[in-house]
Amino acid sequence: MIYLSHFDFPHIEREYSFLMGQKHTCYDTYYPFQTISKHGLVCMDFEPVTILYGGNGSGKTTVLNIIAEKLGLIRDTLYNRSNFFEDYTAMCDFEVENNIPRGSRIITSDDVFDFMLNLRSINEGVNRKREDLMEEYLEAKYTPFQMKSLDDYEQLKKAYSAKTKTQSKFIRSNLMDNVREHSNGESAFLYFSEKISEKGLYLLDEPENSLSPEKQQELLNFLEDSARFFGCQFVIATHSPFLLAMRGAKIYDMDEDPVDVKRWTELANVRAYYEFFKRHESEF
C-alpha cells in the first residue's frame, strides 16, 4: 500500500533566498536549512517500503522529522527542533496516493528507550510494594488486634486475610502483577508490535537499535508482512544489513552526492560486512 507517494524539499537557491532575508544575527544555526540540500536531495518518491541509508550526519533522521512534521504524524517524544523548522517545512510539499490513515506515526529510538525505562520503572515500583507487603503480612498475622470502631474495619480485614492465607497468597491478592520482564531487545520489539497496526504510514528511525541480529530478522519479517498483507507503508532510516535486505525496498543512499537510489548489495556498509565475512570464510 502507498499513502505518501512523493515529497519535495526546497532547492538550495530557495533556501539561500530565505536565509539572506533574515535580519537576525543571534542564531548560530539555521537547521534544518542547508542540511538536506547539501546532499543534492530535492525530492523523494516512495514505495510500500522506502529506506534511507547513510552514515551519521547524512540527514536520515532530519528527513524523517521533516516528513513527520509536514504530515502531522503522531510522535511520542520531542526531537531536535530549531526556530526555523516551521519556516523550512512550509517550503516542503508532498503528494499522496491514498489518504494517510489516522494513527500513522513516527517511531524513534527515543520512543523505544522511554518505553523500556517505563517498563523498568513500573516493575521497580511493584517490587518495592512487594517488600512492603511482606512486612505488612507479618505484622498483621502476629500482632494482636481488637476492633474498637468502624474505623478499624479495613485493618480487621487485613488481619483476617493475613491469618487465613499464606504469605504468597496474601501478597498476590494485594499486589498487581509485574509487567513481564523483558530484555532490552524483547522490550523494543514489543514496542514496535504494539504501535504498528493495520493500514498506516510509519516512519521508523533506526529501529534496529537494542535488537540482536536474531531480533532484527524477526522485525524484518514483521515489517515485510505488515507491508505485504496489512496495508502498511514504511519509511525507514537504518544501517542494518538485515533491514536493508527487505524485499522490494527502495533504498536512498544518503552518503552519495547527489543522493542516489541503490540496491542493498551496493551499499558501502553492506559491502564491508560481506568482505569481512569473506576474509574469515574458512573459519566457519
Do both 141 and 65 map to the same domain? no
Q: Is residue 187 part of a domain?
A: no
The pLDDT, as a whole number, for residue 203 is 97
By the 10 Å C-beta count (0-12 exposed, 13-18 middle, 19+ buried), 73 is classed as: buried
Q: How many domains does the chain have?
A: 2
Do both 97 and 58 map to the same domain? yes
Find the mean pLDDT for residues 15-37.
76
Q: How confident is the model at residue 125 (pLDDT cuts 50, 70, 90)?
A: very low
Q: 96-129 b/e with 16+ CB inside 10 Å = b?
A: eeeebbeebbbbbbebbbebbeebeeeeeeeeee
Q: 27-36, 37-46, 64-73, 167-176: which has the minimum mean pLDDT?
A: 167-176
Find the mean pLDDT for residues 46-70.
92
Residue with cell 539561500: 16
Do both 105 and 160 map to the same domain? no
Across all residues in the chain, what is the average pLDDT?
Answer: 80
The pLDDT, as a whole number, for residue 122 is 46
Do both 79 and 219 map to the same domain? yes
Find the mean pLDDT for residues 133-156.
58
d(CA 248, CA 231): 15
Q: Is residue 191 part of a domain?
A: no
Percent pLDDT > 70 in the chain is 71
Report the CATH number that the domain containing residue 37 is assigned in CATH.
3.40.50
Percent pLDDT > 90 in the chain is 44
State the DSSP string of 34-103.
TTSGGGT--EEE--SEEEEE--TTSSHHHHHHHHHHHHT-B-SS-----TTHHHHHHT-EEEESSPPPTT
Find the mean pLDDT for residues 153-173.
58
- Determine phi and psi for 65, rounding to 5 degrees: -65, -40
Q: How confident is the model at residue 177 (pLDDT cuts 50, 70, 90)?
A: very low
Q: Is residue 253 part of a domain?
A: yes
Classify 83 in phi/psi space as left (phi over 0), alpha (psi -120 to 50) or beta. alpha
d(CA 261, CA 206): 19
Indicate whether 148 pLDDT > 60.
no
- Domain boundaries, position 59: 4-110+199-283
pTM reported for the whole predicted model = 0.75
**What is the grid cell recorded at 52?**
534511507
The pLDDT, as a whole number, for residue 55 is 85
